[in-house]
Amino acid sequence: MNVLVIGRGGREHALAWKLRQDGHDVFVAPGNLNMDGVTCVPIEETDVTALVRFAETEDIDWTIVGPESALMAGVVDAFNASGRRIFGPTKAAALLEGSKAFAKEIMREANIPTADYETFTEAEAALAYIESIGAPLVVKADGLAAGKGVTVALSLDEARAAIHDIFTTDKFGDQSRVVIEEFLDGEEFSLMAFVSGEHVIPMITSQDHKRAFDGDKGPNTGGMGAYSPMPHLEEAVYVESVERVLVPLARAMVERGTPFEGFLYAGLILTENGPKVIEFNARFGDPETEVILPNLASPLLDVIEAVVAKRPYAIEWLDGYTIGVVVAAAGYPERATTGQVLSDFERLPKDVLVFHAGTTRDGSHIIGNGGRLFVITSTKPTLLEAKTAVYAGLEMLDLPQTFYRRDIGGRALARIF
Ligand code: AMP
Ligand code: GLY
């Protein structure tokens, strides 16, 4: 089939890689010049009209959406109107990610476990509220902020500063609402699923590492590395997460008249009282995609076609584990250095994969062009072997003005040994 992937990051590179493994011809809009074996199409993710026109003229059989920006631009609505097959939520359903207040409301309605919260449109009311509940608490800008609009405030001073930033600076973009949330304590994990209406096909678990530096220090980022599945997560917790979170959410979206179709992402935290939702994303996670797809044995479009047709499907996963480490530009997430020459990729052995994100190409050189540059992954029978292969691969590369975490997968490995 001819398949179009919308986006340009590591997630889209992993989707394109999987689709190529499955034997398809893959186009990526706009893609990245370092994605090999695919045709890059110079159309922006949000240029909905041009994307539909391209799919029609090139006779694209399936389109898969990566980033939330394309969803919020209404790409799925436009494809649906033109009768072209696309896998992703409509703009109305993508609000699950686009607005934290909407997500909270639907969780309250569907009785899905999450942190207690209040929403405010004025700084004074938010400030009065935090005085009444005390620290620790979490302050979230309502709206897309690339995972950076969240402050886990251990003191009231930190919380006050975050509220000030949201209402009076444009640090988090144009924000007019804030969600104040109860602080949840526990281990975080991600659970994603293929969803269409009430039909849910869950994937294996994964765990992202959101802080910039080793030992979960430093600022929150879009994600510095991940592994999948989580060996130490009990089956009962997995089942509870599917039954108490994913299934009721899918049902609630149908009942609201905004059925969800696409990759659904639940960011969860395992508290003393069971798993609770931190956030939903209306798309595949990044870098979670890069560590989940190498373990997916079933052809991707088979799963998608089954879920869309509401057919039961016995999804198959490899037995092993995948670890992915993000290499980021020095200065990320505040001010990423760009223009560095990244080299020696040809030295990498076959058992590691590289998924490009914020890189570009100049002749034969790979050049840094963003915050998170690429993800390097390995899939092995054990987590330890996968971790060893990834870090051995990293040692072979010449990566000036970059950094990466050295403890990806460490939490799971500490539990096993
Ligand atoms: P979010 O953008 O909502 O995923 O939040 C980013 C990160 O902030 C999460 O991955 C958590 O580490 C942390 N966080 C968000 N909400 C809470 C909460 N209610 N309790 C504790 N930590 C949280
Ligand atoms: N890795 C977190 C996200 O994709 O939002």
**Does position 417 have pLDDT exceeding 70, yes or no?**
no
pLDDT digits (tens, 9 = 90+) for 319-335: 999 999 999 999 999 99
pLDDT digits (tens, 9 = 90+) for 349-399: 999 999 999 999 999 999 999 999 999 999 999 999 999 999 999 999 999
**Does position 148 have pLDDT exceeding 90, yes or no?**
no
Distance 396 CA to ligand 1 centre (A): 35
Question: CA 230 to CA 347: how far, in whole Å?
Answer: 30
Tokens of 254: 């149908």
Closest Cα to atom 4 of ligand 2: 285
Q: Any idea which ligand is nearest the CA of 142? A: 1
Tokens of 387: 């971790």
Distance 265 CA to ligand 2 centre (A): 8
Count CB neighbours of 220 within 10 A: 18
Question: CA 344 to CA 366: how far, in whole Å?
Answer: 10
204 Cβ partners below 8 Å, 6+ apart? 228, 229, 292, 295, 317
Contact 162, 169 (CB under 8 A): no
In whole numbers, what is the pLDDT of the chain averaged over residues?
Answer: 94
Question: CA 393 to CA 382: how far, in whole Å?
Answer: 17
- State whether residue 152 is helix, strand or coil: strand
Distance 285 CA to ligand 2 centre (A): 4
Closest Cα to atom 3 of ligand 2: 285
Q: Where are the alpha helices (DSSP H) in 209-246?
A: 235-241
Contact 27, 60 (CB under 8 A): yes
Handedness of CA 33, 359, 292, 6 (dihedral sign): negative
Distance 412 CA to ligand 1 centre (A): 20
Question: CA 245 to CA 239: how far, in whole Å?
Answer: 10
pTM: 0.93
Q: Any idea which ligand is nearest the CA of 113? A: 1
Residues with CB under 6 A from ligand 2: 147, 208, 223, 281, 285-286, 288
Lowest-confidence pick of 141-150, 190-199, 231-240: 141-150
Closest Cα to atom 11 of ligand 1: 278
Q: Which residue has the higher pLDDT, 142 or 44?
A: 44
Cα-to-chain-centroid distance, residue 105: 22
Residues with CB under 6 A from ligand 1: 115, 138, 140, 147, 150, 152, 181-184, 188, 210, 220, 267, 278-279
- Residue 164, by phi and psi: left (phi above 0), alpha (psi -120 to 50) or beta? alpha
Element (H, E) at 7: strand 2-7
The mean pLDDT value for 154-160 works out to 95
44 Cβ partners below 8 Å, 6+ apart? 29, 30, 50
Residue 243 per-residue DSSP state: I
The mean pLDDT value for 310-323 works out to 97
Cα-to-chain-centroid distance, residue 343: 27
